[in-house]
Structures are given as C-alpha cells and as structure tokens.
Chains A and B, each alone.
Chain A
Amino acid sequence: MIRFIVRRLIAMVGVVLVLSLLLFFWLRSLPGGPVSAILGERATASRRAALEAALGLDQPVYVQYLKFLERAAQGNFGVSTQVLPGTDALDIFWMRLPATLELSFFALVLATSLGIPLGYFAARRRGSVLDNTSIVMSLIGVAVPVFFTAFMLKYFFAVQWNLLPVSGRQDPGLDATRITGFFVLDGIMTREWDAAGNALLHLVLPSLALATIPFAVIFRITRASVLDVLDEDYVRTAEAKGLTARTIRGRHVLRNAMLPVTTIIGLQVGGLLAGAVLTETVFAFGGIGQALYEAFKDKDYAVLQVLIMAAAVIYVLVNLLVDISYAIIDPRVRTR
C-alpha cells in the first residue's frame, strides 16, 4: 500500500510539472495580458513597455518559465497583479481555499446525505412514487446548468422572499473572529454563535446550487448499483441462509453497492470545483472558484497558475484517497 501511495505521489509531481509548462505557455499565448488590465485607457506604447519590463514580461517565454521554476522551487509562485494585487499567489490559494472547501463540503454532505438514502430506497421500492419522484429530481439536477439553478435560488429565496442572504460569506456588520478561515467552524470554536449561524445561512443557497449535479449523479449510481446487487447470487444465498433482512441490507447489499458510489463521489470532487467557479461567482462567495474567474478575466498569470495547479494536485490527492478507501471497503483490492 505504501509503495502504491509513493508511486502515485511521484506521478503527481510529473503531472504538476507538465501542467505548469502547458499552462505557462498557453496563458502567455492568449491575447492581452496583465499590462492591459492594469493600464486601461492610459496605456501608451512606452508605459506598456516600462510595465512589461518591470514585470519581466518582455523576456522570451522560456526564460520567464525558467525563472518561474527557479522561484517555484523556493516556494515563491509569484504575486497577484489583479485579484489581490501584491499578495503572494500561493497565499491567495490558502486564503480562498477554506471558502471553497466549506462550500464543497456542505454541498457534498447535502448530495450524499440525500442521494444515497434516496437512491437506496428508490431501488428497493422500484416503480414507487418515491422512485419516480426521485428520478425526476435527479434528471432536473443533471439537466439544469448550475449557474441557472444558482440564479433561480438566489432570485426567489434571497431577492424576492428575503429569506436568505444574496451573496458573500458573512454579513459585513459582524465582528467575527477569524481562526481557520472556515467561518462556521470559527464561529463554533470561538462560541460566536451568531457568526456561525450567519455563515451557515450564507452557505445554504450556494451549497444547494452546487449540490444539484452531485446529488443527481450519486442518486442514480446508488439506485443502479443497489438494483444490481439485489440481483446477485450472494444476496439470494444470504437470504437462503436465513440472515435477517437488516444484516443482508447492511453487510451485503449496501456495502457492495457503495463501491461504485465511492468512486463517483471522488470524481465529483473535481466536478465540484468546476461548479464552484460558477456558484461562487453568482454568490460572490470569495473562494477559489471566484478567484479563478477573476484571474482569468484580468489575466492574473500567477494566480491562475497556482490555482489551476493546486486544483490538479487536489484532484489527484482526492482520487488517491478514493483508491485507498476502495481498499478499505473491498478487501480484494488490498491483496492485488
């Protein structure tokens, strides 16, 4: 197992290096750049040249890349030019990460806590009202784009009915203490219950919007997987052995049916990040997704590079965790 993990981690370094190279050259091949974003209408050829020289953008791209690698090896990935000018891009990643993790966590909790039980019961009561209703819900979840769901939720629950906040992570009027950057957790740790509650309220709509697709996918995979397992010989054997329905459901059906569901949950983490770009932008949530959107809009090279590479690292790590959890759920994987 350890050799397997080490091998995957080494492969990850390769992935990040190749990605950094592609990303670096691709970004600089796009028209425009930070100089236009900074100077605006004030741009003249000489001011542009001076700024390019100061930012090192006048050098050949391969020289810029080598310098980037040299700095990156020392943990310096450059500073932001637009998202939070002057701030280390890696610091921006760490600063924005809690928002995205908090949002993704709540979205994933919503998606799994609804998707798995509903999928399981829908399969057991195939053709029932619950089954049909859940299928329609999951179809809507998959078919409707996240940004549209986000806009609709925001329009009705925040703007029209004023039940929930429109955007942001916490009301600016609150003097909340920051410890971890996870606002709900910080509120609980410091016993600032109104801060925790306020942050929780801000999470409801974005996490609902973000949860729609993972919910639909998890529901459908759970339902299909449970249906498959219910038809397996070993379930029939268990029934023939006279095991209680509870034991059969817990030990044989659910546990086996969870294997593909676990894989799908892992894959959904990547999807969550993609969804977070839209959801965070609609709700001005201030996470990595919104930073990514702003960085791309304003050609903030350093921030784009760090965020995309970090997303790749997270994706690889999550899938490694999925593989490990696979081994825990299915003993056969361990022995291979």
Chain B
Amino acid sequence: MRARAAVPFTFGAAGAPEMFDPLYATDGETFRVTRQMFEGLLDIKPGSAEVVPGLATEWTSNEDGTVWDFTLRDDVKFHDGTDFNAEAVCANFERMFDQNEAGQVAAEYWGYVMGGFANDPESSLYGGCEATDEFTAQVTITRATSGFPTMLTLSSLAMQSPTAMEKGDANGIAAEGEGFSFPEYAQNPVGTGPYTFGEYDEANATITLEAFDDYYGDAPESSELVFKVIPDESTRRQELEAGSIDGYDLPNPVDWQGLEDGGNQVEVRPAFNIFYLGLNPEANPVLKDLKVRQALYHALDREQIVQSQLPEGAEVATQFMPSTVSGYNSSLEPYPYDPEKAKSLLQEAGAEGMTLTFAFPTDVTRPYMPDPQKLYDALRTNLEDVGVKVEVVSASWNGGYLDNVTAGKYDAYLLGWTGDYNAAFNFIGTFFGNLKENDFGTEVMPWGEQLAQDLQAADAIVDDAERAAAFETINQQIMEEYLPGLPISHSPPALVVGPEVEGLIPSPLTAEEFSTVSVGGQ
C-alpha cells in the first residue's frame, strides 16, 4: 500500500468512458479522458474555437484544396517510445479508413466527417496519405470542404501509436450480441499527449492517468489525473463541497451562485451551441406557409426566456450558429417579440387557432437546454397566447424522443446542437445540408433542395473569406426567406472547480486540457 506522491487533480465524471480508443468513442465523458492522452495534427487554442498547430506545425494545400501537406513536429514520441513521423500519421489515417463492418458503425465521427471507408472509397472524403519525407505527410481528399483540415482537431481523429495499435489489434472490433466488443488496445491506448494511461479501476469507478515524463511540451502541472465516475449530479456537487473531488462538468445553472458562495470557481465557457424549436412541415402541412412560421417566431418572447430560464451569459439567437463561427451573419437582427404581429400573420395565412403537436424531452439536460420542461412551458405559453392550440407531448430522451424527432412524428420539438469544430457547415450543414435526412422536413419545401445545394457549394469553397461570405448569405436566406425552424438561444455551459484549483482554461468546445491545472499550486 502506498499513498500517491503528489496531489492529483480529481474530476467528477458523469459516466463511465466507453473505452479509451478515441476513434470508436462518441461521448463527452470518453473524450474528456482521451483528450489528456492523445493529440491531433491540429489543435484548438485554449479558451477559443480557433484552430492552431498541434502535432503539425504548418499545413498548406494545392489550389483546389484537395492535396494537403502537413509539416510535423520532429521532437515527438508516443508513450511507448515509437517515433512520431509522417509514416505514423499515414498509418493512423489508413487505420481509421480501413474499418471492418462493426468498425464502420462504431467509428461514428470518422463516418460523419469523412463519409465513408475503404470498402466504399467513392463516398469517402479521405483519398489517401503519403509520407513525402520523414516529417511531411501529404493527405489527399476527394473534394474540397470547409471541414478539412479543421476536422483534424476532433478528438476522434487523434494520432495513436502504430506499434501499439498493431500489437493490440486496434481494428479488431466486433459486433457481439447487441453491442460491440473492443480489442485489447482500446483498454491500453497509446498517444503522444502529456498524460499516459494509468489504470481503470472498474470496481471503484476511477480512471487514473499519469504524467508522461518524455512529453515534448511543458510538463503537466499535476503528476496525476483521476476521473471518478459519479453519475448523479447532486452527488458530484456534494463531493466537490466535501473536497473529495476538485471539479465537475455542467453544474446546473441554478446551483452556480450557491457553488460560488461556497468558494468554488464556476468557469463559464463561451457558448458554442444553438438551442432551437424545430418545425416539421411534413408532419403538419400548415407549417409549409412562411407566414405561419414567422408568426410562431414573433410569438416567442425569447428575451424573457433567456433572462429567466437560461444561465447568465446566454444570448438570444439570430441564426442557427453562434457568433464565433466563421460565416456568422452579424447584420441579422433577432425577430422581435410581437404577439399582435404573430396573430395578424396567422390570420393572413388563414391559420388562426391552428393546432401544433409540440414535444419536449424528459430525463435529460443538455448544455444548450438545462431544463427542457421549464423552457417548453415558457414557449408553449407564448404560442397559446397568440391562439395556437398546443398538443403537449413528451417522451424520454432515450425512450423514444429522439426516435420520434428523426421519424418526423412531431410538428414541433425542442432540440439543439453543440459544435464539433469551428465550421459553419458543422452547424447549418448538419441541419439542412442533407435533403433526405434532416429533422426539419425540408424535403417537402420548394426551397429545400436549393438550400442543400447552396450549403454543399459553400462548403466546397477553398478561399476562407469567400466561403465565409457565402455562408453569411445563406444564413440570411435561412432566417429571412426559409425559416425552417426557430433558433432560440445560445447558452454558455459551465464547469466548476474547487477553491484550490488553478490553471483551468474553459473551452467553448468543452475540450479542456487538464495539463495546465494544479490543485493548491502543487
């Protein structure tokens, strides 16, 4: 029995990690752990959504944005001693691309951003990788997109040791029963980051990471990171108050003041999300009329909702993306709260007294939607005030709500999105870029196809300024001509740490790196 030598930074996690291979991870709790051990070619500047060099120091592309040369750091080693170089980069890309059937489903982020795998190269954005010299990797993509290379900041696409992956059969994932069984590597991951994997004590629900002595950058402030899994939020708060953990994520906004009064530090992140009221004209044809959609928007007192229901720092949304994303249109003004105008628009559309099946999720809180029912009640009251008959529907988040939204069973619903990386297409492209598959039923709208095409075209523009201008125009069209849904707000999610914690930089992408964090300056 030995006591740990230094003071570790202990973080209360809301759930157990899926495993530790970021390629197959999909949830924030797993990424929070892997982010401390792995690094990508590109990084995010701490405290912002800005892309900065990571394991690659420079990157340039050809004119049409399809061939990218990444100049790599020459002083990096993986935790197992394997050299980090262009061959390792290409081995990583090829490994991610070459997935078996189960891997193609499990590697959800690769599928999402790259579109396909080795067995279907025509759908794939990734074209190939070549080590042109020891520290230059040339990655080819099949078409230009604004998402590349920004997507390389995603935790899922981080660089892993080719030696360890081969040894641990990293791609040996298999479907088993109703789940996936992961290969040995997923429990013994090897990256280049400031921390190495220590142990996962499943019986005591704790994960320990240890400082990597040969890290090329600044040595981490804490010699050890501990993640203690505490699924219940009130228990996480009590653990923090008792001093047995040093921090946890997403404290309920109603607790912020109480936590600060107790000497804790509530770190509010810049908002990088959107909360919206989704509309589905396929489910309710009355919603096909722009006047009806505008009427519903004018009926919502969003200023009041933001002030009374959302945490300090929340903002009324003017479009479907936050202001930090390139392509945000700053000339757009919020639709004013005007119940009289809403009533007259409904009258003009012949939709007075319309019925709306309006749903909200239960058993969930999201960074953009801390208390779905309270938000719903406020929005529903606004709609009823202008004569809309609301049929109240609710369902558990995992118990049918998301299924029903995807299946188009609700006329209106509450949902939102937190950005994966800083690209306009990651917001509005996700919502409206796929005509056949979106929750807004744009397929039945006369402009749906045009909008999807415009989004795809804007995404393919290579020049940054030109692309931003194109997205700004699309944002204006979406809000003024189409209004496929009603953006409500951007909410800043927070995380809280104890009085003794120093050096934490909150990230709008909820991608905090803990290597700068120490407890009590030790």
Contacts and interface: CB of A to CB of B under 8 A. Distances in A.
Interface in A49-94: 50-51, 54-57, 64, 68, 71, 76-81, 83-86, 88-89
Interface of B is mostly: mixed
A168 B230 contact: yes
A166 B179 contact: no
Nearest to A155: B238
B105 A286 contact: no
A250 B339 CA distance: 82
B417 A41 contact: yes
A83 B4 contact: no
Interface in A119-143: none
A232 interface: no
B402 A39 contact: yes
Nearest to A165: B244
Contacts of B182: 85-86
A159 interface: yes
A36 B202 CA distance: 25
A268 interface: no
Interface in A11-60: 30-48, 50-51, 54-57
Contacts, number: 204
A292 B406 CA distance: 28
B481 interface: no
A286 B179 contact: no
Nearest to A286: B205
Contacts of A166: 235, 238-239, 242, 244
Interface in A221-254: none
B403 interface: yes
A57 B226 contact: no
Contact of B112 (A42, A95, A170): A42
Contacts of B27: 40
Interface residues of A, number: 80
Contacts of B314: none
B4 A173 contact: yes
Nearest to A38: B26
A204 interface: no
B443 to A, nearest CB: 12
Contact of B229 (A37, A44, A175, A284): A284
Interface string B408-435: 0000000111000000000000000010
Contact of B19 (A42, A64, A86): A86
B204 A286 contact: yes
B180 interface: yes
B203 A79 contact: no
A70 to B, nearest CB: 11
Nearest to B25: A85
Interface string B359-382: 000010000000000000000000
A36 B397 CA distance: 8
Given A83-B16, A168-B230, A40 B402 contact: yes
B461 interface: no
Given A55-B178, A79-B181, A86-B179, A43 B402 contact: yes
Nearest to B173: A86
Given A78-B176, A78-B177, A80-B179, A44 B235 contact: no
Given A78-B179, A80-B179, A84-B16, A194 B1 contact: yes
A215 interface: no
A283 B204 CA distance: 12
B398 interface: yes
Contacts of A195: 1
A44 B352 CA distance: 33
Interface string A171-184: 11111111001010
A290 B231 contact: yes
A28 to B, nearest CB: 10
B517 to A, nearest CB: 16
Nearest to A158: B242
A282 B177 contact: no
6 contacts: A38-B26, A41-B416, A98-B203, A155-B238, A175-B4, A282-B235
- In the A-B complex, list the 7 residue pairs whose CB atoms are closest, starting with the nearest: A31-B400, A78-B177, A32-B399, A79-B179, A192-B1, A86-B182, A54-B105
